[in-house]
Amino acid sequence: MTTTAEIHPSALIDDAADIHPSCHIGPGTIVGPEVSLAEDVELGARVILEGPVTVGSGTRIAHGAIIGGLAQDFKVTADSPSAGVRIGSGVWIKELAIVHRATSPDTPTDIGDGVFVMSQAHVGHDCRLDEGSMLTTLAALGGHVHVGAKAIIGGGTLVHQHCRVGRLAMITGGIGLPREVPPFVVVGARNTMHGLNLIGLRRSGMRREDISALRRAYREFLHVSRSREEVVSGLRAIAAEGFEPVGELADYYATGSRPVVDGVGTPPNQFRRWLSSFGLITLREGEADDTDG
């Protein structure tokens, strides 16, 4: 442990912790072994860091946050090997937020540079939050969730384990989300997307012609009910005209294994199953067993 850092006398710091001299550690905070803090890290009062945890430069962790606790997984014990938690640079983790350590010994729970985790949010084990993404107050991620760069998850939203949220997507608050969310879209209700995140796309500096191509792609292939194969082939046809973001959207659909949220032009699952019972429509592959709607 470095002794020249600004550490409150009531903090409990393990001698094996690696703390940069420029760090600030508040009262009652506990830092265990296998914890590494880079320059200018600030820990508020009563923060708990259980290793392995690495924290990048300029990151702030506010009062009462708990980082690196044991994963909420029945197969995990206190002796289970874990790659822990990696927190990037310039991250802000607010009051009472929780980030659990990985169940994998090779890949940590990963909080990318510039991520904002607001108060009382929960990041489950083995999650990955890419650069600049935001998890709003009381939002919770199940294990193995991947949140893309600059995506925003609204307050109180619950994301099912193993789901993906694409980059620059925006999810409203207070909903359960058992399905995956494509890049660039807005999800305004359970399992339903309501268009593109146009404000986010413009702020990101995306070309106007790319945004226009995404609007066309959404209107023709995401707004209405289509099979995954139809969506992928249609999006790739548009991407071949020189629109890389549409190609990213196609790759997202091509690589997923879980159901994806529907556009507002698609009838709800139960209604589709009812229509199929009369032979009026044909369900997509796997939809008969999909109870997420």
Residues tagged active-site: 125-126, 143
- What span, in angstroms and rounded, lies between the C-alpha atoms of 86 and 150? 18
Question: How far, in Å, CA of 179 to CA of 62, rounded?
Answer: 31
Encode burial over 193-230: b for 16+ CB neighbours within 10 A, e otherwise: bbbbbeebbeebebeeebbebbeebbeebbbeebeeee
Burial class (CB in 10 A: 0-12, 13-18, 19+), 106: exposed
Phi, psi of 257 (to 5 degrees): -120, -20
Tokens 């199940």 appear where? 142
For 186, the 3-state DSSP assignment is strand
Nearest of 214, 209, 255, 204 to residue 234 by alpha carbon? 214
Q: How far apart are CA 276 and CA 273, in angstroms?
A: 5
Could you give the 3-state DSSP secondary structure of residue 219? helix
